[in-house]
Structure 1
């Protein structure tokens, strides 16, 4: 019930604020004032930020002039690489020991681990190595996405001419809650 009312209210608001034209096909003065803020919009800016971030991590953040994010990006990308190298070395060491033991030779874990323990350790290190690599790839893609979204949001109109004020109101007679929305455009 409330959801249907909310949809109706949103529909009414979105249809009320359409641009009007006079008889000659020109935009009205109010509409022209509203569009002046959108003249600075450059649709290629988010694509450039994403491209720069893909080429060199952190470059998209520098393009957006968010220099404080660059150490966070590099810290996030270096951490899984560090754990990848640790787990890869341990995996190679246990793999080599497992192969030596299978060939009947003595290995560095001869008196420490049984054959089954050595095989389990090898599987754990391989799984951790692969997880670290996938984490790196995910964080690399995430920093590209973050640069693109930040470039989009830099162009977002946040002037005082537009205000949105949602309110939750209670009907004292029926004790029902209603959602009230207010959208103000000041020209």
Structure 2
């Protein structure tokens, strides 16, 4: 008789614990679903980020909350534009002087530089202007691509189930420990 009551008491307590465990598990599921819905609302639009960066360099980085990248992007494109304008003005100045010397009209470089020297100087400034334009366009495109990629990867960066951690692993060729990077993914 005592064994039956002990057995029934044990079963009742286990069923109570298992039902409590079920309640705890359902709250965990509810918390996980809330966490997933929060991540969905935190998602950034790559199209919007690229559009912002295309209109104003660095604005897409601000949209993605990359505060330090925004002034860098704006500074690179602005500096490139400034160098382009500077070299273009010098090219035009020496081009006008070269044409004036070839036509025989006096200018600011008459008697100082020969037509050959003016041609070399104007070609040098033209080449610098062209390189400056190319680098500025490259910086501008990289700004847009960076904003787009950051927007695409925004939800992955904030995913609590995926992580990269430094780890020490056994080397394949030697028994010495080697530093590595572990990729952890929780299901």
Structure 2: segments with no counterpart, 5+ residues: 1-25
User: How has the CA–CA distance of structure 1 residues 64 and 175 changed in structure 2, closer, same or farther, with 3 Å as cutoff?
Assistant: closer
Q: Which residue of 2 aligns with 1:169?
A: 170
Q: Once structures 1 and 2 are overlaid, which stretch shifts more, 81-90 or 62-71?
A: 62-71
Q: CA deviation at 1:169?
A: 1.7
Contact 2:49–2:63 under 8 Å retained in 1: yes
1:96, distance to aligned residue in structure 2 (A): 0.7
Q: Equivalent residue for 2:91?
A: 91
Q: Does 1:133 align with 2:133?
A: yes
Q: For each residue in 1:148-176, what CA deviation from the matched residue of structure 2 results, as whole angstroms up to 9, or x when unmatched?
A: 111122211554533456654246xx747
Native 8 Å contact 1:38 1:157 kept in 2: no
Name which one, 1 or 2, has greater alpha-carbon Rg: 2
Give 1:63's aligned residue.
63
Aligned-partner Cα distance in 1 for 2:181–2:47: 34
Post-superposition offset of 1:84: 1.3
TM-score of the two chains, using structure 1 as the length reference? 0.66
State the distance in 2 between where 1:77 and 1:182 align.
Answer: 37
8 Å CA contact 1:37–1:157 kept in 2: the answer is no
Answering whether residue 121 of structure 2 is matched by residue 124 of structure 1, we say: no
TM-score w.r.t. the length of structure 2 is: 0.66
Q: Distance in 2 between matches of 1:160 and 1:57?
A: 31
1:143 is the counterpart of 2:137: no
Q: Size of the alignment, in residue pairs?
A: 157
Who is 1:5 aligned against? none
Bigger helix share: 2
Residue aligning to 2:103: 103
The runs of 5 or more residues in structure 1 that have no matched partner are 1-28
State the secondary structure of the residue aligned to 1:94. helix
User: What is the CA distance between 1:177 and its match in structure 2?
Assistant: 8.4
2:54 aligned with 1:54: yes
